[in-house]
Amino acid sequence: MYQFSLSYFKKLFSNAIESAAANNDQAVRIENILDSLTKLMFTDICRGLFESHKKIYSFLMCTAIRRENSSISFSEWNYLVRGTTRTATTPNPDPAFFLPAGWDFLCFV
pLDDT digits (tens, 9 = 90+) for 17-57: 999 999 999 999 999 999 999 999 999 999 989 999 999 99
pLDDT single digits (tens) 52-90 = 999 999 999 999 999 999 999 988 888 888 877 777 778
Q: Where are the domains of the chain?
A: 6-108
How far apart (Å, rounded) are the C-alpha atoms in residues 23 and 27? 9
Phi, psi of 3 (to 5 degrees): -135, 125
How far apart (Å, rounded) are the C-alpha atoms in residues 105 and 88? 8
Q: Which of 71, 107, 72 is nearest to 88 (CA)?
A: 107
Q: pTM, whole model, 2 decimals?
A: 0.68
Is 35:65 a contact under the CB 8 Å cutoff?
A: no
Is 51:41 a contact under the CB 8 Å cutoff?
A: no
Instruction: Output the pLDDT for position 20.
Output: 93
